[in-house]
Amino acid sequence: MRAIALSGEHGAWWPELDGDQGHSIVAREGDAWLEPIPGVPGSWAQLGPDQSSAATRPQRARAAAAIVAETLASDREAGQGAGELAARYEEINLLYSISETLGRTVQLEEAARIIVKEVSDVVGARRASIMAYDPDAEVLRIVAGRGLDVAQLDPVPADDECSVAAKVFRESQLISYDPSDPTPNPGCPGGRTYRGSSFLSVPILYARAGGPPRTVGVINLTDRLGEDAFSAGDKKLVMAIAYQVGAAIENARLVREERKRERLSTELELAHHLQLALLPGPSLLAAVGDVGARCQAAESVGGDFYKLIPLGGRKVGVLIGDVSSHGIGAALLMASAISAATVVAQSAPSPQEALHRLLAVMGDELVRTEMYISLFYGVVDSEQGVLRYANAGHPYAFLLPGGDGEPRRLGATAPPFGLAPGGVIGGAETPWARHEDLLCLFTDGFNESRGATGQNYGERRLLDTVRRHAAQPAAEIVDAVFLDVAEFSGHVAEDDRTLVLLRC
């Protein structure tokens, strides 16, 4: 028996076929039988010529053809299996390599460059990119690419209706386009410079433990080598890779946020020290009289401030202010106010003129930031026995007479800065008993501090505390007030707290 394929060389002998069923033939050496091999079109098994019985040849030929068919099928399956195994090995090796790459670096750009190259090699794409979503700008940024100049490509808005990558991001669904498929191109194909027409875009997903997955980026592949369309195996492989990359993108985002927090923390600490440096030091406080002062910010930096300004002779200028917010913005406004106040106070003939000049300096900044400031500026002239002041909407300014006299509120003479542009700033004055009267200035952080029952600390409790300790030095009175408010509402301040006491 022998198997022959009817595709021999030119001039070689082959028998005349009589249909596609088994039949007898006359070969060069004698009679024989041809039987088609099942499942292998164009292939036949020949039995004979030999000394065996011609009557049994058809039966024996069919049995032999079946064996040959089974053998060939086994060979084909083995070849296919070997090919699939080689392909699976390449994919498994790629996944392992990517996992190893992601495990040894937190630099997303570095890892993405390696992944783009390896993925595009395995699936045969000449162009590839990994895009990560920037939630602050709401765009997809290319972090790595192959076959394209990443530096020349602009970020893609996440709501771009013409971008396939943006659509994949929004819908969290894979998009694959095969030009031989009658389905319309999902993107805007005009102006494409790709060598091929098909493309594959896969969402990069990340899911916290127990949480739903969310899209954090997109992998794009095109310009495929060989067959233009991407196979089902390509899609599965890239989707598996996308899940790995998702964790890398999320880790990179967390690292960036942590570094941003660390940088902000450092900047806030520096701002805190700079802010404290703007406030009067102990030597200046001691030089102007019996002074106690403390500023406690609710955050690292705040919007409360005060300033004591020696004006020559027995005159002392006292300024306290409260910006309508707290945090960095309020702190910058506070720094501007202190710097300007120091200059204008030295030359202004009266407290109201000092505030008028200060408002001229800060007016534009207040409009731009949409903030306002309550300010009290007083000048104690202990030699003449008078306190002259201007009050721009600051409600917590009091004169505590020596002895058992009731505290007197030093009322507003103008609205807060920033609330009524162009308003007239008035002034006022009141008698001052040297070494007896106590000027008490504070901010609303005290008044609004809440206790366990929800009640406010209030100005009355603060003033009563000051009066109980009035015989003590001003600095000790300040300590007593801060201790009392801490016991009342806890040690964490919800708003900035500032207290200034002056006796001279």
The rounded distance, in Å, linking the Cα atoms of 291 and 503 is 6
CB neighbour list of residue 402: distance below 8 Å, 6 or more residues apart: 433, 435, 436, 437, 438
**pLDDT tens digit string along 378-432?**
999 999 999 999 999 999 999 999 877 899 999 999 999 888 766 789 999 999 9
Tens-place pLDDT, residues 303-312: 788 888 888 8
For the cut 70, the answer to whether the pLDDT of residue 264 exceeds it is no
Residue identified by tokens 């659509």 is: 167
Give the whole-angstrom CA distance, residue 334 versus residue 85. Answer: 71
Burial label for 360, CB within 10 Å (0-12, 13-18, 19+), is: exposed
What's the angle, vertex CA 96, arms to CA 93 and CA 100, rounded to 5? Answer: 135
8 A C-beta contact, residue 415 and residue 393: yes
Q: Which residues contact 177 (CB under 8 A, 6 or more apart)?
A: 164, 183, 185, 186, 187, 197, 198, 199, 200
CB 304 within 8 A of CB 324: no
DSSP state at residue 127: E
CA distances from 286 to 21, 280, 296, 381 (A): 121, 10, 20, 17
- Residue 6: band (very low, low, confident or very high) from pLDDT cuts 50, 70, 90: very low
Measured in degrees and rounded to the nearest 5, phi and psi for residue 235 equal -65, -45
Dihedral of alpha carbons 118, 120, 126, 127, sign:
negative
pLDDT reported for residue 478 = 95
Half-sphere CA count of 46, side-chain side, radius 13 A: 21
- 111-125, 270-284, 460-474: which range is least confident on average? 270-284
Paired tokens of 355: 């505030």
Whether pLDDT at 10 is above 70: no
pLDDT in tens, 203-240: 988 887 777 888 999 999 988 876 767 888 888 888 88
Q: How many CA atoms lie within 13 A of 7 on its CB side?
A: 4
**Predicted confidence (pLDDT) per residue in 358-375, tens digit:** 888 888 888 888 888 899
Average pLDDT over residues 62-71: 80
Name the pTM for this structure.
0.54
What domains can you pick out in the chain, each with its CATH number? 2-82 (no CATH), 105-256 (3.30.450.40), 279-503 (3.60.40.10)
Token pair of 459, please?
């100005």
Pairing mode of beta strands 2-5, 43-47: antiparallel
4-to-12, 30, 34, 276 alpha-carbon distances in Å? 12, 17, 10, 100
Is residue 400 within 8 Å of residue 467, measured between CB atoms?
yes
Question: How many beta carbons lie within 10 A of that of residue 469, not counting itself?
Answer: 18
- What Cα–Cα distance (Å) separates residue 365 from each residue in 118, 241, 330? 54, 52, 11
Q: What are the pLDDT digits (tens) for 482-494?
A: 999 999 987 666 7
**In the predicted model, what is the mean pLDDT of the chain?**
81
The tokens describing 354, both together, are: 């000092």
Q: Quote the CA–CA distance of 500 and 383 in Å, as a whole number.
A: 21
How far apart, in whole angstroms, are the C-alpha atoms of residue 158 and residue 211?
23
